[in-house]
Amino acid sequence: MFSYRHGFHAGNHADVLKHMVLVQLLKYMLQKDKPFWVVDTHAGGGLYDLTQGYATKKAEFETGIAPLWGRSDDAPLPVADYLAQVRTLNPEGALRWYPGSPQIAAQMLRAQDHLRLYELHPTESRLLQQHFAEVKRGVSIEAADGFAGLRAVLPPPPRRGLVLMDPPYEDKNDYRKVVAAVREAQQRFPSGTVAVWYPQVVRPESRELPRQLQRLAGESWLHATLSVRRPAADGLGLHGSGMFVYNPPYTLAAALRPAMPWLVQALGQDEGAAFTLDGRAG
């Protein structure tokens, strides 16, 4: 149950897609003065050192953030915005620190906004607590199941908010739990933005999840996928990922339109590299 550690995968191509979209969602919400909450159901450790520990075992960041690091001059705006958040942690120019979703949100949120983090893994939760130990306000952390935690926090007090769901999916029950959590989030907080990340792996649950998510979609949704290679012959490994966003900003599709083919060119590993971008404006 507790085998997954995001440090093994920090900064990979799936993180690039997830965090690029996250930055755009936050950027849009920050345009209004009214406060909002960000709820992260599977927060991880918050910050990852790419030069030691788990991140060096498979060095997955070499297929994600690393090829983009020196390309800010020609990067489309959403990629450049994302890279700027990573550069905040690496001011001397060398790529060492990679921010998880909580750190990106913490960097972008204002004093009036609030970050609510859930992490069930005991080690990851402890690291998350240590990472934000000096933050006196604006961040709440619970060592708890984020899916269950949504019931207590939705709708958030300011009635503006973003929910990010990105479980590890090592347990196939996570696919079922995501669908149930999205359905409940829509009932409790119909005006909220909900972003779901999912892996593209050779598993029937992975292929079925986006179809289930679309069946839950109303009048406003966006679905983006980034595949960097064709599926492996042995069926192992992550060949891509997707982001499904409910109630996305009306600007998001137009922002991602030039960014997705650029990422295919920058991160593609073989002829299986591709993207999709679909949605409906409310």
Q: Is the distance from CB of 237 to CB of 261 less than 8 angstroms?
A: no
Enter the DSSP assignment of 80.
H
236 belongs to a structural domain: yes
Report if residue 148 sits inside a domain: yes
CATH of the domain at 135: 3.40.50.150
Mean pLDDT, range 237-245, rounded to an integer: 96
- Of the candidates 166, 174, 270, 278, the residue annotated as catalytic is 166
Q: How confident is the model at residue 1 (pLDDT cuts 50, 70, 90)?
A: very low
Say which range, 36-45, 57-66, 101-110, 174-183, has the weakest mean pLDDT.
57-66
**What pLDDT digit, counting tens, does each position of 128-164 carry?**
999 898 776 799 999 999 999 999 999 999 999 999 9
Number of domains in the chain: 1
Owning domain of residue 199: 6-280
pLDDT of 8 higher than 90: no
pTM as predicted: 0.95
Q: Minimal CA–CA distance to 16: which of 58, 56, 76? A: 76
Q: State yes or no: pLDDT of 185 exceeds 70.
A: yes
CB 242 within 8 A of CB 282: no
**pLDDT tops 70 at residue 5:** no
Q: Does the annotation mark 171 as catalytic?
A: no
What are the phi and psi torsion angles at 13 (to 5°)? -60, -30
- Determine what percent of the chain is predicted with pLDDT higher than 70: 96
> Is 66 domain-assigned?
yes
The string of DSSP letters for 193-229 reads EEEEEEEE-SSHHHHHHHHHHHHH--S-EEEEEEE-S
pLDDT digits over 12-42, tens only? 999 999 999 999 999 999 999 999 999 999 9
Q: What's the rounded mean pLDDT across residues 164-174?
A: 94
| Block residue for tokens 């093994």 | 8
1 falls within a domain: no
Instruction: Assign 2 a pLDDT band (cuts: 50, 70, 90).
Output: very low
- Residue 245 domain-assigned (yes or no): yes
Tell me what the mean pLDDT of segment 175-182 comes to.
Answer: 97
Contact present, 266 and 68 (Cβ < 8 Å): yes
User: Which among 200, 208, 268 has a CA at the least distance from the CA of 235?
Assistant: 200
Report the distance separating Cα 141 and Cα 63, nearest Å: 31
126 located within any domain = yes
pLDDT tens per residue across span 256-271:
999 999 999 999 999 9
Question: Torsion-angle region of residue 46: left (phi > 0), alpha (psi -120 to 50) or beta?
Answer: left
What number of CA atoms fall less than 13 Å from residue 145's CA on the CB side? 8
